[in-house]
Amino acid sequence: MSSCSAVTSPVPLSNGDCCPATILSAGDVGNRVTVVLGAQWGDEGKGKVVDLLAQDADIVCRCQGGNNAGHTVVVDSVEYDFHLLPSGIINPNVTAFIGNGVVIHLPGLFEEAEKNVKKGAGLEGWEKRLIISDRAHIVFDFHQAADGIQEQQRQQQEGKNLGTTKKGIGPVYSSKASRSGLRMCDLVSDFDEFSERFKVLANQYKCIYPTLQMDIEGELKKLKGYIERVKPMVRDGVYFMHEALHGPPKKILVEGANAALLDIDFGTYPFVTSSNCTVGGVCTGLGMPPQNVGQVYGVVKAYTTRVGIGAFPTEQNNEIGDVLQTRGHEVGVTTGRKRRCGWLDLVLLKYAHMINGFTALALTKLDILDVFSEIRIGVAYTLDGTIIPHFPANQEILNRVDVKYETLPGWNTDTSRARTFEELPPNAQRYVKYIQTELGIPIKWIGIGKSRDSMITLF
């Protein structure tokens, strides 16, 4: 952190009172945040990396997405599943922050917390350690119901759907974009006004989806029941982040949900999520300046997986894919669906790096490759026999590409007990070095198991 050259000046508030505000001089950056992002189609093991970094963090943040995300953390053989809560909350010394870019289904939030509290002591006192931005939008039950109807309509009209989680994420971001959504500040400030706006929004959805079943009064009663419990958590997120960034030195960690190739702008559209899950979403989802972004860690699975439909150039619809799926236990934390599996795709990863500017990578689930005598890596795409120099935006083109592979020797050795890079088999070391050299990004961690201690740190 740079030396503080700030001054304090009274700033008038709308009610006429004044409060001290920090005015920063040029060049004073303050604390920087460390960001963890998925670099493929999700399910890379971000929760495990966040858990590792959160052990000495002060604040852990979620900046986008909702409970369509699924992060798994294993501590002392206990497996915790997080969807809305930042997974770093498992550290009892961490303050967890859900930013304005996150969409929140309150029943889902409390159900998730209670489910994880029953598993162990890690979430004790979680309500006193959670802060929610007052600008975060609320997911209602009718958003979730509408999500399911939209999927049915796509299936009937187009013969395929997007494979959403049906958690209402797309509909609530649509409400946000159309300026008809409701936020946490609305819920906790004036419930009568909130109720009137809720009814208007619910009726809009009923007009769009006549078959939509909803209990307006029942849901309002349920939401009112959450107010006293959630109100102490709700704060102005912009001021919270400003104080965290420009107060005493703090370690601030940002936990991205979903992944680069699911980003609404840069992912394999339209088979994407509804938020920006690349590095730009950190600033807009937390209300912080870009100069406070520090290290950006990309999480990469040692092979590639995807849930649902959409182009997947290195997919293996064969025995190899079956082995990866079985050994990797590739089932979605949120959806319970089997993940499609294939070889590592360096074209995809280079594209993700262009957008995010990764400072280092975590390479996870290397141990899943232990049984292969040879391992292939996608290094280029060709279209009609010609190498294309970019990752295609158009899904039809991406579906048509052929993949040029590099084949490396496997190691046929159990790597799960290795705790240093040197303890890995030579061919496993070669695989890691090849990826690092081709991408031009240092690999900082290698995952070789599910538990907290099965992560090799290289530097």
Binding-site annotation: residue ranges for GTP = 42-48, 70-72, 339, 365-367
Annotated binding site for IMP: 43-46, 68-71, 165, 179, 258, 273, 337
State the binding site.
42-48, 68-72, 165, 179, 258, 273, 333-339, 365-367
Place of tokens 């290094």: 379
SS3 of residue 337 by DSSP? coil
**Contact criterion met (CB below 8 Å) for 245 and 288:** yes
Annotation marks residue 71 as catalytic: yes
Q: Which of 105, 137, 176, 301 is catalytic?
A: 176
Q: Are 342 and 321 in contact (CB under 8 A)?
A: yes
Name the catalytic one among 51, 71, 105, 345.
71
Give 405's strand partners: 378
The span from the first CA to the last CA of the chain, in angstroms, equals 22
Q: How many CA atoms lie within 13 A of 100 on its CB side?
A: 20
Helices (H), 247-301: 280-286
Residue with tokens 């858990």: 51
Give the Å distances, CA to CA, from 290 to 131, 295, 351: 22, 12, 21
Strand runs labelled E in 232-319: 234-235, 252-255, 293-301, 304-306
One of 43, 134, 141, 147 is an active-site residue; which one? 43
Concatenated DSSP letters for 162-194?
A: ----SSSHHHHHHHHHTT---BHHHHHH-HHHH
Two tokens, residue 404 = 């040029």
Closest by Cα among 425, 424, 278 to 445: 424
| Preceding peptide of 20 cis, ω within 30° | no
- Is 176 catalytic? The answer is yes
Pairing of strands 95-98, 130-133: parallel
Going by C-alpha positions, the residue among 146, 157, 137, 139 that lies closest to residue 206 is 146
Residue with tokens 């939401």: 223
User: What phi and psi, each to the nearest 5 degrees, are found at residue 418?
Assistant: -65, 140
426, β-bridge pairs: none
d(CA 269, CA 395): 7
> CA–CA separation, 425 vs 371, rounded Å?
12
Beta strand 402-409 with 443-447 is unpaired
Q: Is 83 a catalytic residue?
A: no
In the 8-state DSSP scheme, what is residue 25?
A: P
Q: In 198-285, where do the E strands start and end?
A: 234-235, 252-255
- Give the catalytic positions in this structure: 43, 71, 176
